[in-house]
Amino acid sequence: MAEQLAQALAKEFPIDDKTVRIGVTTGISVFPHNGTDAASLLANAGAALFRAKVKSRGSIGVYEPEMDQQIRDRRVLHQDLSLAIKNGELSLHYQPQAASARPSPAAQSSASRPGAVAASGTRLRSTS
């Protein structure tokens, strides 16, 4: 049914002398397998929708129980990082990498002059 809806909406149609096309990304949860009340069904459909959007726009995601754990893990990580930033527990370090006096043939580039910055990197470290 979701595929039929997506196909029906994908057809171009005119609005104010312009051609418009709509795309649909869908998240699906099924009663009673994925929830027995509206709140859990909507939350699980939302998790499936998030997964579908990550996969590609216009796709269909069907809820799977492991999506819950992935969402919880992501929320915990977000909360931990937010708290660490708030508490000043992270520091950012910039690390330029200079070309050596004799760059390897694979490293030949415009930055291959001795002492030229060949690359750079950043590191995020916990200060606690």
pLDDT at 18: 92
Work out whether the CA dihedral 73, 76, 80, 85 comes out positive or negative: positive
Q: Find the range with the poorest average confidence among 7-11, 35-39, 41-45, 111-115.
A: 111-115
Q: How far is CA 20 from CA 16, 56, 112, in A?
A: 10, 20, 51
The residues with which 90 forms a beta bridge, in sequence order, are 126
pLDDT at 33: 93
Q: Per-residue pLDDT averaged across 43-52, rounded? A: 92
Buried b (16+ CB within 10 A) or exposed e, 7-27: eeeeeeeeeeeeeeeeebbbb
Q: Per-residue pLDDT averaged across 113-125, rounded? A: 63
Q: Which of 49, 45, 51, 43 is nearest to 70 (CA)?
A: 51
Its pTM surpasses 0.85:
no
The answer, yes or no, to whether residue 64 has pLDDT greater than 90, is yes
The model's confidence at residue 106, banded by pLDDT at 50, 70 and 90, is low
Buried b (16+ CB within 10 A) or exposed e, 78-98: eeeeeeeeeeeeeeeeeeeee
